[in-house]
Chains A and B, each alone.
Chain A
Amino acid sequence: MEAASLRSQPLVEQQFDDIKQQREAAKLGMWIFLATEVLFFGGLFLGYTVYRFTHGQIFVETSRKLDVILGGTNTAVLLVSSLLMALAVRAAKLDQRRLLTGLLIATAVLGGVFMTIKGVEYHKDYVDHLVPGTHFQWHGNEPQTAELFFWIYFAMTGLHAIHVTVGIGIILVLGLLSGLGKFSHGNHNTVEVAGLYWHFVDIVWVFLFPLLYLVGHR
């Protein structure tokens, strides 16, 4: 590509030939990153599986201590936010700037709601002495295994919460940029790639919810 034609298209970074190549590269990059993320959570899922297998009964008992209503609400909140994100991607593609801004902000707000509910839950766990460490108290069988379950619970949901927080940050920034008109005229790629990330965060929760909250409920 000649330098002159490059400059006429300011959206394309210098290493790419055209916008299509750039778009495909960004999307593929995000997919590969998500593969990394799956394996990142994978270590925790493996730990969970091993102990669920060896200490199944205790896991069922400890799981009952978690609040299914709050957890279920959070599942709904995240699913709706994922829907809004999908609509935002559509709005970006159709160049509907104001709708896009609104949807992005709404997605981020729902993310915030999720984090708030999660915080309430964590607080409840703290009050109930369910946070592993010196504070932990368990009156049933095998307190050590129960502590192990809560340790895995906090590790998994905590790691997920970090991802949600990062996602909220990204989406808020995108909302701001969208308000400034950055995503007009086919420049919807960033929104699309961020959408992939947000859906991933959602899917992880869809696995966490039954594994952690529902094993104790038949």
Chain B
Amino acid sequence: MDEFRLFPPQASPVAHEVDWLFFALTAITMFFCAVVFLPIAFFSIKYRRGSRADRSHPWSKSLLMESGWTVVPLVIAMGLFSWGAILYFHIETPPRNALQVQVIGKQWMWKLQHAEGKREINELHVPVGRTVSLTMTSQDVIHSFFVPAFRVKQDVVPGIYTSEWFQPTVPGQYHIFCAEYCGTNHSRMIGRVVVMEPIDYEKWLNSGEPGEAVALAGARLFRDRGCSGCHGANSKFHAPRLEGLYRKPVPLADGTFVNADDQYLRDSILQPGKQISAGYENIMPSYAGRLSEEEIMQLNAYLKSLGQQEAPSK
């Protein structure tokens, strides 16, 4: 991980794709540098003061040339835009059925938890070949989760969930950097991704103290904090049922729909009055300040697992 190199390791399919675009941009840069620098060098010699070059009939305008050097770069630029945008869309769309890892950034460390309950600090063990999806938030300031070997980076923002995914293809160890300035020890908020063979990963996952799976911890919270009192199956209160909710459109009181994603679940816990489901009263108390970021993530994981179940008939 620490030897000198000229080019970063390519440890995921996205890394290769980003590098192709990078090489194309480099080639275009060199082309335009040649287009500008070669004539400058040539004119500088030929038309240096006192040279005997022909200086008669100089041009000072040419619509043809102006349109040429406007349109050609424009076409190239639009091509580059499309390439970059398509690839960006790919990078920013998290795939389904990936390994879920929850990431909480705080000054100045990364706290990570696997779906099976295993916790890590500043390290992330993943099996080679599997897609890994991170759900991230911050406890304090803005951070940014950056793994150069995968060419991915995403700001980790307090108050909202962001996500990032990658598919490691080469076993090894790779840097994790915090890329958004976050205070005194910003440059020490670093870690490593350890990409392992699946067998080694299983071994690692089952080593040490067994942790409580995240969704199970969420289920426990759902009972202990009283959520099930209203949202549970036998509730006397008129509250929305949460089975089969995740990633489904939810009709709201104001007639619009919202997609029940991680952010929606989070907001509904912390700011229940923000988006009221159609047909329900705004009676839920806010849990802001009463749940830690980690607990909210556990509740979310539980709600997601409910999402796999059938929606109850009303």
Contact = CB atoms under 8 A, between A and B. Distances in A.
Touch test A–B (CB under 8 Å): yes
Interface of A: 54-55, 57-58, 141-142, 144-145
Contacts of A54: 274
B282 interface: yes
B26 interface: no
Nearest to A142: B273
Contacts of A144: 288
A145 B286 CA distance: 12
Nearest to A58: B273
B122 interface: no
Interface in B254-306: 271, 273-274, 282, 286, 288
Nearest to A141: B273
B162 to A, nearest CB: 17
A40 to B, nearest CB: 26
Chain A binding surface SS class: helix
Contacts of B271: 142, 145
Contacts of B273: 57-58, 141-142
A166 B169 CA distance: 66
A55 B274 CA distance: 6
A145 B288 CA distance: 12
Counting from the closest, the 8 A-B pairs by CB-CB distance are A141-B273, A142-B273, A142-B271, A141-B282, A55-B274, A57-B273, A142-B286, A58-B273
Nearest to B253: A57
Nearest to A61: B273
A58 B271 CA distance: 11
A57 B288 CA distance: 19
A58 B286 CA distance: 14
A210 to B, nearest CB: 21
Nearest to A55: B274
A189 B254 CA distance: 53
A195 B68 CA distance: 50
Most chain B beta-carbon neighbours within 10 Å: one of A54, A141, A144, A145: A141
Contacts of B282: 141
12 contacts: A54-B274, A55-B274, A57-B273, A58-B273, A141-B273, A141-B282, A142-B271, A142-B273, A142-B274, A142-B286, A144-B288, A145-B271
Contacts of A58: 273
Nearest to B273: A141
Contacts of A55: 274
B27 to A, nearest CB: 41
A54 B256 CA distance: 13
A146 to B, nearest CB: 11
Contacts of B274: 54-55, 142
B277 to A, nearest CB: 14
Nearest to A54: B274
Interface in B154-188: none
B179 to A, nearest CB: 26
Nearest to A144: B288
A80 B270 CA distance: 47
Nearest to B276: A57
A14 to B, nearest CB: 38
Contacts of A142: 271, 273-274, 286
A144 B288 CA distance: 10
A141 B274 CA distance: 10
Given A141-B273, A141-B282, 10 more contacts: A54-B274, A55-B274, A57-B273, A58-B273, A142-B271, A142-B273, A142-B274, A142-B286, A144-B288, A145-B271
A142 B271 CA distance: 7
Nearest to B274: A55
A159 B274 CA distance: 29
A88 B186 CA distance: 60
A140 to B, nearest CB: 9
Interface string B91-112: 0000000000000000000000
A192 to B, nearest CB: 43
A27 B286 CA distance: 54
